[in-house]
């Protein structure tokens, strides 16, 4: 995994695409601690299709749910938890049948500290980390 600095982050508390990036996160099945995790992504070079697919990625023992616009196909995303551990995945819009629902199941890479969120940069600039 390579170090990537991401421009955007949505917490898994149910951010429903307030900035119109074509990305939404959901808190279903996550406890309070896991809802502090964030989905990290960049929008540069993305041409939105206005077709979002349900996406799932397992990280840190939890199943994270989100909707991602198919225009992000091939772009790197990351999920980062409250301990600043992260997992990256390259978004694949291909869906498969999971329990009668078409879902794009993502294959994550190893857990590391290689993803930088906007919040981490702010905390670093303030001298907290």
Instruction: Kindly report, residue by residue over 74-128, the tens digit of the pLDDT.
Output: 999 999 988 888 899 999 999 999 889 999 999 998 777 766 667 766 666 767 6
What's the CA angle centered on 81, arms 24 and 70, to 5 degrees?
30
52-89: pLDDT as tens digits: 999 999 998 899 999 999 999 999 999 998 888 889 99
Residue 44 to residue 84: CA distance in whole angstroms: 24
Rounded CA gap, 112 and 55, in Å?
A: 21
- Average pLDDT of the residues in 9-24: 87
């Amino acid at each position: 995994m390579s170090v990537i600095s991401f421009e955007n982050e949505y917490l898994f508390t149910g951010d429903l695409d307030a900035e119109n990036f074509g990305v939404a996160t959901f808190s279903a099945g996550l406890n309070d601690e896991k809802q502090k995790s964030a989905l990290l992504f960049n929008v540069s070079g993305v041409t939105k299709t206005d077709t979002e697919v349900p996406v799932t990625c397992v990280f840190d023992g939890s199943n994270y749910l989100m909707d991602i616009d198919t225009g992000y196909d091939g772009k790197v995303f990351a999920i980062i938890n409250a301990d600043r551990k992260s997992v990256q995945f390259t978004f694949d819009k291909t869906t498969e049948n999971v329990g009668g629902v078409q879902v794009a199941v993502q294959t994550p890479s190893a857990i590391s500290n290689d993803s930088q969120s906007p919040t981490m940069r702010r905390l670093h600039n303030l001298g907290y980390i």
